[in-house]
Amino acid sequence: MPLALVAAAALVSAAVVQQGLFSAGIGPYAAFRIPALVACPCTRDDALKAAPPNCVFAFAEGRTLSSQDAGPIDIVLRRSSDGGRSWGELEVAVSWSDGATTCGNPSPVCLDTGEGGERGELVLVFTVNNTWPFVTRLSEDGAWAPARNLSGEVKLPGWGWMATGPGHGVQLRGPSPFAGRLVVPVDRKLLNADISIALKVRASEGQADARVRPSAYARFVTSNADAPHDVYAGSVLLDDWALLPEFVIGGGRAAALLSDDGGRRWRIGGAVPSHNSNSNEASIAELDDGTLAMSFRVQSPTGAAAHCRHFALSADGGETWGAPFTAEDCAVLDPVCQGAILHVRGLGVLTSGPDSSRTREAMSVQRAAHADATGLRGWQLVARLSHGPAAYSDLALLPLPSVAQGIAIGVLYELGSFGGGPASIVFASLQIDHSE
């Protein structure tokens, strides 16, 4: 059932249509989390010769047991061939058959591969058990290719945790010498003596508690960094039982994965400078001048800008990143939550996330009218999509039949709460007037 828009600023010239796409009980899933959104040329099955040039792909994690981050989790999706007005049935993009593996953090990228960009491929980068990055791609018949492990290309010895996105990646358009490059946000953790890892372990009375065991965890991850995937990949083995790693982030770094050959070979790019070392869950956009803008979460914020959204810029296609900064007057808030960033030519930069400094609530879209190598400025509210609980989100430019209809933006976001997690994932379509 469509949901009404809660509030909107002057940029939104038409009613915003919202509809639920993923909710508990669909298929075998107890909950859905971690949305990702991308528009890409339709596959042969989708197109039916009458569809618009692009389809919209909405991804999420389908969590079998609960809304918690660990356990058997699949990457699922729904497709729209009419700009997000209607959606196909739930599909499974990635799943392991062992009933125990976490496949998550979807980061889809649309490639322009045809002359003039009229045809493309959809590449999906994701992680297994928050440790091993994989890549797959959608074929023209609508099927997903076997996933390939990227660990040997993008992980150094001793690296443990690695998580892609979550949310869309980008293919660079230029103007820059890096046009065509794929850039996927990622965060990773180095395992060394300077990082304190609090591990959940089983207490003698059968209850879980937290104890600091950095050396035990480091030995396990280091010795298994290149091990083949199995049921316990990325797990912590203690006393003959397994638990997916749940530890305090200290030393995590937001970074980028780069590919210069259409997603066939990958390497690790630059990371946010170390003086902001607990950065993660990043989103990346390319600006008009070729500069990359990263929006990222700070896990343990301190100081005057503790609850402001943080950004960083790259002038070399993601090879390096400049010093982190926040919006002027803390115009973009962040209650320690993932958020998305999207650049729209002629409009500026859009961000999505909870508009709150302390609580995951009030999903909002904001705009920086001026975005270039000197920074992101001139922030204003575009739309508030909810007043109540809301968390992770992603943004995409939606396909429209004609330029005269203006600009349409899709927002895929977590809405509501139950059992400690979001109640559903909702898609909102915003028609934006940029005639100013």
**Residue bearing tokens 């500069």:** 291
Q: How far is CA 396 from CA 1, 350, 373, in A?
A: 22, 10, 22
Residue pair 76/91 in contact (Cβ under 8 Å)? The answer is: yes
Q: Return the H-helix or E-strand segment holding 154.
A: helix 151-154
Measure the CA angle with vertex 23, ends 22 and 28; round to 5°.
95
Residue pair 411/364 in contact (Cβ under 8 Å)? The answer is: no
Residue 287 lies in a domain: yes
CA dist., res. 35 & res. 140, Å (int): 23
Q: What is the pLDDT, as a whole number, of residue 436?
A: 52
Residue 169 lies in a domain: yes
Q: Which residues pair with 159 in a beta bridge?
A: 190
Q: What is the pLDDT, as a whole number, of residue 118?
A: 44
Q: What is the pLDDT, as a whole number, of residue 12?
A: 56
State the virtual CA torsion across 231, 124, 249, 390 in degrees, nearest 10. Answer: -110
Token pair, residue 115, equals 């002359």
Q: What is the pLDDT, as a whole number, of residue 195?
A: 34
Q: Which residues pair with 137 in a beta bridge?
A: 123
Token pair, residue 154, equals 């993008």
Token pair, residue 369, equals 């009218």
State the virtual CA torsion across 23, 75, 181, 130 in degrees, nearest 10. Answer: 110
Residue 130 lies in a domain: yes
Averaged over successive runs of 10 residues, the pLDDT of the chain (436 residues) comes to: 47 72 94 95 54 80 90 94 92 87 95 56 92 88 88 78 94 90 88 35 34 34 33 34 34 88 93 74 96 92 85 96 92 95 93 94 94 94 92 92 72 85 89 69
Which residue range is the domain that position 101 belongs to? 7-432
Residue pair 188/252 in contact (Cβ under 8 Å)? The answer is: yes
Which amino acid type is present at position 376? L
Q: CA 83 from chain center: how many Å?
A: 21
pTM of the model: 0.83
Residue 1 lies in a domain: no
Token pair, residue 397, equals 């430019």
Reference 75, options 103, 40, 97; nearest CA is: 103
Residue 175 lies in a domain: yes
Residue pair 398/421 in contact (Cβ under 8 Å)? The answer is: no
Residue 257 lies in a domain: yes
CATH number at residue 388: 2.120.10.10
Q: Return the H-helix or E-strand segment holding 149.
A: strand 148-149
Residue 421 lies in a domain: yes
Q: What is the pLDDT, as a whole number, of residue 26?
A: 93
**Residue bearing tokens 């049921």:** 231
Reference 427, options 412, 415, 414, 417; nearest CA is: 412
CA dist., res. 18 & res. 418, Å (int): 20
CA dist., res. 428 & res. 96, Å (int): 31
CA dist., res. 253 & res. 274, Å (int): 8
Q: What is the pLDDT, as a whole number, of residue 60?
A: 98
Burial state string for 121-146 with b = 16 or more CB within 10 A and e = fewer than 16? bbbbbbbbbbbbbbbbbbeeeeebee
- How many domains is the chain built from? 1
Residue pair 102/70 in contact (Cβ under 8 Å)? The answer is: yes
Q: Return the H-helix or E-strand segment holding 220.
A: helix 214-223
CA dist., res. 177 & res. 159, Å (int): 30
Q: Which residues pair with 364 in a beta bridge?
A: 353, 384
